Structure 1
């Protein structure tokens, strides 16, 4: 995986790295010139990460996820639930942030260098599609969905 540093402050804050031996993702930093406030229930905002990636392998993709502590404790989540970085995309990784708290709640302050999201890498399968009139196999559940198993 190649990384291109687009904002030199990343060298001060730290290149993306795993924070523990069992960490699944690396933290992404807020790369902007001045602090911003993410207002409760306002439209999502895009924050630059200061990096671009070259996967070198079309069987991998990146998923930008919220940091669990920020989401649970402060209400800072991603504006698009999660972000997908296709393996052929080589532009800057951008982070869509949204303050999910009720209207009138305090804004969430984001400062340059804050760790605001995490990035995990996942394998990608690309099956070929075959158009059929009926499936050759079915599961016990069949077409039942949305609570059909009692949930």
Structure 2
């Protein structure tokens, strides 16, 4: 299934790359930092980084903001609320909540790739309140009850 998603570059960000896939079969669109000046992130520090654009998605679609694996591996930079969810009715600027889990300061520069955006279909779900739930073999076991951890 194919969806039409509108994208609007925000004023002052004409030099910022719009989201794009870096390979033919990539599932995520890379996002670029639309910071006005360099943003240093010290170890343990977080920052909300603008991406310079807004979206209009149809109902039944969401965008998820996820870390870039290379940035996480090389510098310890990841998304704090991963995946971050962008709802279909949100029209504001897309921003990425980054955190430095590395051991050294990291500087986010304008137009640097900072995260990726993956689109997902959202099923229509209705919650039904009941007095009892059906039984399963697992039951209420959770948090590692089936294994070592």
Both proteins in one fold, TM over 0.5? yes
1:124 aligns with 2:93: no
Q: Which residue of 1 aligns with 2:76?
A: 75
Unaligned runs of 5+ in 1: none
Confirm or deny: 8 A CA contact 1:7 1:31 kept in the other structure: no
- In the comparison of the two structures, how many residue pairs are matched? 144
Q: Which residue of 2 aligns with 1:54?
A: 56
Unaligned runs of 5+ in 2: none
Q: Secondary structure at the match of 1:80?
A: coil
Q: Which residue of 1 aligns with 2:9?
A: 5
Name the CA distance, whole Å, in 2 between partners of 1:139 and 1:92. Answer: 44
Q: Which residue of 1 aligns with 2:65?
A: 64
RMSD of aligned alpha carbons: 1.5
Name the CA distance, whole Å, in 1 between partners of 2:80 and 2:142. Answer: 27
Q: Which residue of 2 aligns with 1:87?
A: 88
Shift of the 112–7 alpha-carbon distance from structure 1 to 2, 3 Å rule, reads farther
Q: Which residue of 2 aligns with 1:45?
A: 47
Moved over 6 A (4+): none
**TM-score relative to the length of structure 2:** 0.89
Q: Which residue of 2 aligns with 1:15?
A: 18
